[in-house]
Amino acid sequence: MQETKPNRAEAAWLSHLELLAELPYPGRVLMPTVLTAVRESFDGAALGIFLWVENGRDELKPSAIWCERVNGAMTDLMRTRLPEAFEGFPLKPQLDTDGELIRIMQAQPGDADSWVYKEGFHPLGVHWGLSAPLLDEQRNCHGFVYIYRSLGREPWTDDDNQRLKRARNHLRQLGQTTSSPLPPCSYRFRHAAQFHFDREGRMLARSAQGVELLYQYQDFGEKFLPWNTDSLSALPAHARAIVTDMCTALIRGNDVKPVANTVDLAAGRFEFHAEPLTAVGSGEASVAVRVAQYEPLDIAVARALMNTSYSLQEKRILVASTRKPSLQALADYLGITVGTLKIYINRLQAKAEQPSRQAIIDALLADAGNDGSASSHRPA
C-alpha cells in the first residue's frame, strides 16, 4: 500500500514528536507527555499505553509499563497478570508484524470476549487497539506504543495504522540522550496529588493526578515500577519507609509527627509531606500524604509548544533557551553560527510579537495555565 504523504498539519505534529523525543531525559520520564501527544492526534482514541521490553535471545519480555488510565481491574492485570495477558498477544510476533498482530487478532471471531478485554479494557470504555514497536536507529526494539479507541467506535483504518507508524518513526531518538551540554534548567510546578493510607498501609483514596504523579515519583532504575499498586508499595522507597514508620507508630499508639522532605529525581523535584490523621468517632487513625512535582522547565515549554506555528528549529531554540545559555553555546548546541541564530531569534520575536525569548516562554507557560515562575526551584 502506498503511504499517504502527510499534510502541513500532520508534518507539524510529527516534527513536534521529534522535538519531544530529543529532550535530554530518559524515555520513561518523557513517556506521559509523548504518549498524550500521540494519542490526542487520533480521532476517538481514549487510552494510550506504552510497554517497555527487554530483548532476549529468542523472545521479548515486558519490563515496565505506562498506562494513562487505570482502574482496579487494569491495576490487577498490570501487577499480577501481564505475562498471562501477553500469551494471547506475544511480543515477538507483534514485532515481526510491525505491530499488525493486534489488528489481526481483533478481526478474529470471539476476540472481544477474551478476559483481557472484558476485565481490563472494556471497563475503561475502550476496545479497538492500534500498535507499533518503537525502534531506534539500529532497529533495536525498546517497546510498543498502543492506542485504544472508545467502545462503540469503528475499528482503526489502514490510514490510522500508517499515521501511527509515521509517529513512531519520529520518536527514534526517545531516551537516547539523557543529559545536556547546556546549563541546568529551572523546575516548574507541574501538579500535586494527595493520598490517604490506613494504618495497615492500604491506599484508601488518591487524587485524580495521583496516577501520573506516582509513576514519575519513582526510581527509574527499577524494572517494573510499582506505581500502579493500591498500597504503600506505590510510593518510592524513601517515602514508603517514612509512611511505614508512621503506620507502625499509629498501631502502637505512639505520638507521630508530620514529616516533609524534598528530593530530586529523574522526572524533576518532588516535595513530600506526610502527617497522621486523628480518628473521628469509630474510625481509625490514618496517614495523609501530599506529593508535588516540579518538572524541568524545558519539558514544560516543549509541551506548551504543541499546536503552535513555530518551526522545529524555532521550537528547539525556545526549549534550549530555558537553560539560559550564551548565544555562542546555544549556536554550538544547534550546530549553526551565532549570526544565523540571531536571525532565527529576530524572526521568533517578530512572529510572537514579544521583545525577548524569555517573554515568549513566559507567554507560552501562561497560556498553558500557570505563570511559568520557576526561579525559586532553580537547581544549584
For residue range 160-206, list pLDDT tens digits in order: 999 999 999 999 999 888 889 999 999 999 999 999 999 999 999 99
Q: Is the pLDDT assigned to residue 71 strictly greater than 80?
A: no
What pLDDT, on a 0 to 100 scale, did the predictor assign at position 371? 36
Domain residues of the chain, as ranges?
Answer: 8-169, 187-296, 300-377
Distances from the Cα of 50 to the Cα of 8, 39, 62, 289, angstroms: 27, 11, 10, 28
Q: What is the pLDDT of residue 113?
A: 83
- Please state, in angstroms and as integers, the Cα–Cα distance from residue 30 to each residue in 188, 222, 275, 280, following that order: 15, 16, 31, 42
Q: What are phi and psi of 244, to 5 degrees?
A: -60, -45
Class for domain 8-169, per CATH? alpha beta
- Is the pLDDT at 5 greater than 70? The verdict is no
129 is written with which cell numbers? 487497539
The reported pLDDT for the residue numbered 164 is: 97
The pLDDT confidence band at residue 207, using thresholds 50, 70 and 90, is: very high
> Over 90: is that where the pLDDT of 88 sits?
no
Instruction: Print burial letters for 48-62: b (CB count within 10 Å at least 16), e (below 16).
Output: bbbbbbeeeeeebeb
pLDDT greater than 80 at residue 79:
no
The residue-averaged pLDDT of 113-117 equals 83
CA distance 11 to 138: 24
317-330, pLDDT tens digit by residue?
999 999 999 999 99
Going by C-alpha positions, the residue among 101, 153, 106, 154 that lies closest to residue 132 is: 101
Highest mean pLDDT among 109-113, 119-123, 259-263: 259-263
Asked if residue 1 has pLDDT above 60, the reply is: no
d(CA 215, CA 194): 14
Mean pLDDT of the chain: 89
CATH class of 187-296: alpha beta
Q: Which grid cell sits at 256?
A: 507521630
pLDDT digits (tens, 9 = 90+) for 19-54: 999 999 999 999 999 999 999 999 999 999 999 998
What's the confidence (pLDDT) of residue 224? 60
What is the predicted pLDDT for the residue at 380? 32
Q: Do the domains 8-169 and 187-296 sit in the same CATH topology, yes or no?
A: yes
- Tell me: the pLDDT tens digits for 223-254? 566 777 788 988 999 999 999 999 999 999 99
| CATH 1.10.10.10 for domain 300-377 | yes
Query: Which amino acid, residue 272?
Result: F
pLDDT given for residue 57 in this prediction: 59
